[in-house]
Amino acid sequence: MSSTLIIACGALAREIKAVIAANGWRDVRLECLPADLHNRPDRIPDAVGEKLQRASRHQRIFVAYADCGTGGLLDEVLAEHGAERLPGAHCYDVYAGESVIAALSEQEPGTFYLTDFLVRHFDRLVIQELGIARHPELASLYFGQYRCLVYLSQRDDPALQAAARRAAAGLGLSFEYRHTGYGELATSLVRLVSEPATEGQAT
């Protein structure tokens, strides 16, 4: 198996490490970028590009991001380096599948999504980072158009479910729970690592 580098969003780190361990991959290395880049998606393409610039040309490289709000700019960076990313517009597509997210969005356009990572770090990434802790009135500005919070869980953890319910209640949103597992994250990584290296990649 060739040496593989995965450049990933920090929000996916725990799940990617679990996939690596479950498959016994010893020649796969993970490098993560800060998860809070999702609050500033315009910075994601440059941050990923810098990682790609420093990577060895003899490594197989995969970028564990979806488009993530970059409006196609991340794909432009990846094309320059011949790198591939996860499918979909965001990690919700990766976990639940694009058709499921499309159906949920059609059913209720005002839907706010959480994953295991976002539930664990809800206070820091949402309440603190968005300034709601200091200015509670901002909650209605950020979430006034939302009606429902959907928790897409990777692990069936009652404690995380309870925390997600509290988050929904705090934002005044209805709550829905869906267990997705690792979805396309696992299948994409397995496909990448299992397929033969192409010319120019390490063997």
Q: Tell me: the pLDDT tens digits for 47-70?
A: 999 999 998 766 789 999 999 999
In a domain, residue 155? The reply is yes
71 with 105, same domain: the answer is no
Q: Are residues 175 and 106 in the same domain?
A: yes
Residue where the block lists tokens 């033969």: 196
Q: What are phi and psi for residue 64, nearest 5 degrees? A: -90, 65
Q: Please check whether residues 76 and 141 belong to one and the same domain.
A: no
Question: Which domain CATH number covers 48?
Answer: 3.40.50
Q: What b/e readout covers 119-143, taking b as 16+ CB neighbours within 10 angstroms?
A: bbbbeebbbeebebeeeeeebeeeb
In a domain, 76, yes or no: yes
Residues 85 and 8 in one domain: yes
31-41: per-residue pLDDT in tens?
999 998 988 99
For residue 167, being part of any structural domain is answered with: yes
Are residue 83 and residue 10 in the same domain, yes or no? yes
Is the same domain home to 82 and 45? yes
Same domain (yes/no): 85, 114: no
Q: Which residues, including other chains, have CB under 8 Å from residue 61's CB and lie 6 or more apart?
A: 4, 5, 6, 7, 52, 55, 81, 83
**Number of structural domains in the chain:** 2
Yes or no: say if 23 and 190 are a contact pair by the CB < 8 Å rule: yes
* pLDDT score, position 201: 47
Q: What percent of the chain is predicted at pLDDT more than 90?
A: 86
Domain match, 79 and 106 both: no
Owning domain of residue 105: 98-179
DSSP H or E run through 138 = helix 138-143
Reported as a single tens digit per residue, the pLDDT across 158-191 is: 999 999 999 999 999 999 999 999 999 999 999 9
Residue 203 in any domain: the answer is no
Distance of alpha carbon 70 from alpha carbon 50, whole angstroms = 16
CA angle (102, 107, 112) in 5-degree steps: 75
pTM confidence score: 0.88
In a domain, 202, yes or no: no
